[in-house]
Structure 1
């Protein structure tokens, strides 16, 4: 099929690294791997940081212009067989695809759409109504987590849903180099206010209680809250923490391979691509049993998931893996097997092909 792909929150070509951009790229790869021809329908970023009517109106005008451009293009060059929108939600609704898909009788598909009733107030209620209409219209809404599917099903019960587990391109992890330092902790996370800072704060507190153990840590990440993040770790020995800043995605596997355990509390994580990458590199994970994290980490098998907000439990889980070579080794092997065998690009492509085959295409 010829597929028009659109990610209103962040284009696959966006210059800023993030999990959203990475998954958008992975979906394009998976669709191509499955034999489809994928074209980026639009680079327009429809993102409302705050519920401001003027910004909303301005973005709607831009979206209308994009729809007009694509209408002319499709009349000239032919319409696609399917429209595929990644991650529409209340701050980033799709104001291009549903209208075009309806006008040209093209099946409309979403992936990782989300809906939260607690956002139904003021302008957010208006933007969520747009998301809801798109989900209702869709021939298929692909969910990455049971949590998201349940939220959508509760709000829009008559919509059509399918499941696709979060995945990564495992090509960079197929070759296993010599094992890194088993007591080296690794974290990969942007430094943004909100959930990211909260996770860094919890991590710093937990590390403070296991100072008697011989751990060191590598941190990959940067962002506007870097000073605030580093301040949380000020009470820890500076020579134990290596601040690597933002690095190229291609360099991340080498850092993961240099470590022994991946640690990240995971407040607000939709699921966390970084957890999958860490496990592919053979790192057991310590995270919280929170948000979408259980979709990508198997508690007691590929790592430990601790109760939300329990700093002592998080520290205890890190201590357990640092102290037990046998358990760490067993979990490392299972983590690597889990991702390479069950969460690979090839597996995702096969699942996507299975899901899309069920959609009638004119």
Structure 2
């Protein structure tokens, strides 16, 4: 793929967006991995296409706003088209409005990474965007899926000739980072502080901590957002056992992982969660619920079922805090799992193997 040129687009959040998130992180990781194949990768557009509220007017406005961007890119690439177009994270709240028409005009292959089908959304407040997201998915020559949950609907609804390839979530690293010593009493948690599933995870954390009053431990929380005050209220009963670290950059996050003995994030409806990979790469045992998406990145183990509630998570945390040998063994297994399945070499190999024939066939 040395001479290939890839146009990359992330409609939900561009890799250079100012607000950190797992979505932005994965977009950056994908550009790194695509460049690692030897291809030249350019960000085609930084337009954000997202409607989180289910507002038909907003959806129509974004569809109109995309038209001049489509025209600009079609004209810009007319004399020197990229080898292929790759879009990341097309779904009913954030459909790819740009990639399919540009690729059709230029007659180049169109690829999606981490797309999802949601035909139940074809009626209701997101109907306009859901229709376009389905059409964009139908237009893809190749779809890389990251979780088993997404695979099920992609297999069910894929058009004839469309190829599906598993691409596990990954860290943009050639080798594992240095491991935590696991010798502190710190538990580390990290998550955006916003309403919905993230707040639900914080509520579970608070309910779990209430069952661990007898443990000499400290919880350190990285994250910020519009619901920070509500999260602080949830943690107020635990006094100085809980410390808020705020929003951390990559180096600060690495230090927080290194200084902890385990990572705790329940993972309510997480797509998968990059923090799980980062924690495991540092050799931290992870306490999370056994949920779709989350189980695609966690090392095999006895992860509590959601129906078992905070009691099961408290039991797991208690066992880990009181057994250094168990922490060390689970940490070792976590690092081995990431090394085998979730580093740059694996992603590069999968991307090269799937994209090379598509690019060659289009030349």
Q: TM range, normalised to the smaller chain?
A: over 0.9
Q: Give the equivalent residue in structure 2 for 1:279.
A: 280
Residues 284-316 of structure 1, C-alpha deviations (whole Å, 9 max, x = no match) = 10000113000011232xxx4211141111111
Q: Give the equivalent residue in structure 2 for 1:66.
A: 69
Q: Give the equivalent residue in structure 1 for 2:224.
A: 222
Distance 2:14 2:129 in 1: 19
Deviates more, 1:255-264 or 1:290-299: 290-299
Contact conserved, 2:182 with 2:284, CA < 8 A, in 1?
Answer: no
Partner SS for 2:72: helix
1:131 aligns with 2:150: no
Partner SS for 1:110: strand
Superposition deviation, residue 191 in structure 1:
0.3
Contact conserved, 2:182 with 2:327, CA < 8 A, in 1?
Answer: no
Q: Give the equivalent residue in structure 2 for 1:306.
A: 304
Superposition deviation, residue 239 in structure 1:
1.5
Partner SS for 1:288: coil
Distance 1:81 1:40 in 2: 14
Partner SS for 1:122: coil
Moved over 4 A (4+): none
Alignment TM-score, normalising by the size of structure 2: 0.94
Superposition deviation, residue 228 in structure 1:
0.7
Partner SS for 2:271: coil
Match of 2:12 among 9, 14, 19: 9
Alignment size in residue pairs: 356
Deviates more, 1:122-131 or 1:210-219: 122-131
Deviates more, 1:227-236 or 1:121-130: 121-130
Alignment TM-score, normalising by the size of structure 1: 0.95
Contact conserved, 1:2 with 1:36, CA < 8 A, in 2?
Answer: yes
Q: Give the equivalent residue in structure 2 for 1:51.
A: 54
Residues 182-226 of structure 1, C-alpha deviations (whole Å, 9 max, x = no match) = 431001111010000000000111011011111111110000000
Residues 54-81 of structure 1, C-alpha deviations (whole Å, 9 max, x = no match) = 21121112111101111121124x1101
Q: Give the equivalent residue in structure 2 for 1:121.
A: 123
Partner SS for 1:65: helix
Residues 13-48 of structure 1, C-alpha deviations (whole Å, 9 max, x = no match) = 000000000000000000001101101000100001
Q: Give the equivalent residue in structure 2 for 1:163.
A: 166
Q: Give the equivalent residue in structure 1 for 2:109.
A: 107
**Pairing of 1:157-236 with structure 2 (within 5 A):** 158=160, 159-170=162-173, 173-176=176-179, 179-236=181-238
| RMSD over aligned Cα atoms | 1.5
Unaligned runs of 5+ residues in structure 1 are none
Distance 1:241 1:181 in 2: 18
Residues 81-136 of structure 1, C-alpha deviations (whole Å, 9 max, x = no match) = 10000000001001111011111110000000011233232342332221222222
Contact conserved, 1:173 with 1:253, CA < 8 A, in 2?
Answer: no
Distance 2:99 2:23 in 1: 19
Distance 1:322 1:157 in 2: 50
Distance 2:223 2:174 in 1: 23
Contact conserved, 1:132 with 1:156, CA < 8 A, in 2?
Answer: no
Partner SS for 2:327: helix
Superposition deviation, residue 229 in structure 1:
0.8
1:293 aligns with 2:294: yes
Partner SS for 2:213: coil
Distance 2:24 2:318 in 1: 34
Superposition deviation, residue 282 in structure 1:
0.8
Partner SS for 2:303: strand
Match of 2:87 among 64, 85, 88: 85
